[in-house]
Chain A
Amino acid sequence: MKDINGESTVDSIDSGVNRRNFLKVGATAAAATAVAGVTSVGMAESATAASYNPKKFAGSTVKILLVDGERDQNGIKDKVADIQKTLGIKVEVTALALGAQLEKIQSVLHAPTSEYDIIDNLGFTVSGVVGGGLYTKLNTYIDNKELTAAKYNYPADFPAGQLDYTSRYDVANNKFGGKDVYLIPGMHSGSVIMFYRKDLLAAAGIPVPKNWEDYIDAARKLNVGAVSGTSMIGGNDVSLILVDWYARFASMGGKLMSGTPGAKNYKPNLTGATAVRSVQHLIDCAEVSPKGVGSFGFTESVDAFSRGEVALMLCWSTIAGSAFNPATSKVASKIGAAQIPGDANTSGRPIRGGWGLGIPKNLPQKRKDAAWMVMQYITSADFDKYQFDNYQTDPNRRGTYADAALNKKYPYLKVAGQAMENAKMLDVALIPETFELVGEAAREFNLAIIGSQTAKQACANAQASWEKILKRAGHLA
């Protein structure tokens, strides 16, 4: 299915992209960017096109709300002076821990006037905030040559799946995709990939695991001495579901939901064989994971991997990319990255992550206009490359994923790009209760990982919790 811009919509995101297609698309985007003459982060140099005037809203102040702990704010802070020089706009950045940021977003979007001009929104919350009609439609800005630089290259330089997740939304029908743009993908996108120790696999004569049986076999063989075979986000943490469980479940061919919320028959499939098998796989992996994995968030898992104590690990590429940085990893030169394992008849299907930057609806027009100028800057092709090169957060643009110099420097970039093109949106992301559902499942599966209940019990309990929540919210009769 194609939309007004000729881009694929949600229906085709899940169809998967092979490596050749990905490279072709990436190379085309890179070429388009090069033709556009992008040479520096500042946009002033290309201001000659049309009547675009980057300093049209000079003298304004733009306040940005981001999440903390994911290195998103670092690049902007570096470029505050350049933004002032290029756009004449003063930028102030606030970065809050995820929970606090989500709370803050709710309060500012429902206030008479928003405190922030640009807000970064987690993909899993888009249906709640954008679906609630709380953000400004950006189409008029994007189509306006006076307000948008010719080289901005939206939507061509952004992965289609990401556009239909953290950019375009059909508010009237409360559906992802469509032709209305409310967010621009940023500050980072991302999906889940597999990180492994090349040296340990080679020494043991084990190939990179291609399916989940191979994965657990390899983990058991590599679980020797001070090195654990694998690690995971095993704690009572939403990423246990989003990263480790969903990667297994979707790759094993699991279908999380049946029915639709609108028809009030939206029912989870958590008691099926695939769900139980995927939780059992987590339990098996926990046995060859570092001690205390049942309390691990992604930080603990990545830290253990970076210390050289883990052989295999799945993680958000945007989080664990730092394992390739010699300044923060003891094993930077010994690791490789690959797509997550699949099953006999299915390829690995990681979850789609990422964020989208939006301009709150409850702002005066002048503030919205100034915010758009800054938003272009921080989602520009050059800024995307700068942020990735310096802080290894997953890029938002195809041109960055396909950049030859960056790929040479960060070998996992290509893998991360393929994973993102191939990623699958979490089925329940289309209802506002996403976090509540994911939280309940995380609690039950965590208990299974630490041995307090079986995989079957955990799945049955999660199913019951989900049905209760869905019934209360009116999605299940």
Chain B
Amino acid sequence: MTVAAQFEIEYLQYLGPDGKLAGKLPPAVADAKALLPRFKQMLFVRTFDTKSIALQRTGKLGTYAACLGHEATHVGIGASMRPEDVFAPSYREYGAQFMRGVKPREVLMYWGGDERGNDFEGPKNDYPWCVPIATQCLLAAGAALAFKLRKEDRIAVSCCGDGGSSKTDFYAALNSAGAYTLPLVLCVINNGWAISVPRSAQTGAKTLAQKGIAGGLHCLQVDGNDLIAVLEGMRRAVERARSGEGGSVIEFMTYRLHDHTTADDARRYRGEQEVKDAWERDPMTRLRTYLTSQKAWDEAQEKVWLEECGKLVDVEINAYLETPVQPVEAMFDHLYADPPPDLLEQRAAAIALEKRA
């Protein structure tokens, strides 16, 4: 037999679910203390997520897509980017976005039904949340192409889910990344479920990472609940992108511990035992165990930090709740740089109607 080409997919894991080291640590995180800011960020994200779900349940927020269980992946991705890079998220990667300067109040504004949530004060060139599945991957490819043509030292990073990796747009993104050797990192966050459809029903491919092989990209599968593996996987992909070697697909193996969104009830389609088992692989627990074993963290510190997180999130929630609704004319604003007269007439009519009401 003559082999035309051969491929393999490397799997990265450093920290097992028990919090014990499964391999030699990459140099960047050999000192456990280096992981502390990331761990604290993960705790902040979980606090935010918990409080956001509560806000929705009490009628103070619209439908919300929780990120419970994804904290290591999200924070690790955000920690691997530079401010001048561009991030194109789907709609639950708050951990990555907070690290890039997106404010929790902006997340709440968005899910609270106000476009101003997309007007990030921080990362001005980052894309807003993207509901049409995986289209953000191709926007990121376009951004990466712009960086390359302008010879800028910037990269684009985009996330989609296991379901998103079935979409034309995902394939188009990885294909163009290969065709143009783009500085692009495509993160497939495999949390097991696309609403009610399990990963096994999405594709016959053994891994989702291997889809990148078709486009000539660097491919890697990492334990997305192991922050160290996430950071190391991202480091490799980001370095490739920055050095002109081209794009990567990284599959992050994690689990959606919550419903798809607050409008979903996962009990209809997945068993309790599966979720119980997934909690055993919780990214938070294993990192806490490890950091504690390294004397870098303890219960007292966690208690203090969680209190702090609660306060920080409450400030954001209050800022969101106290933001007045936009005036009716806001729905006409920012549609065109130079709005046509017909539109301005409709705007004036809407304002007049409001005044009569």
Q: Do A and B come from one complex?
A: no
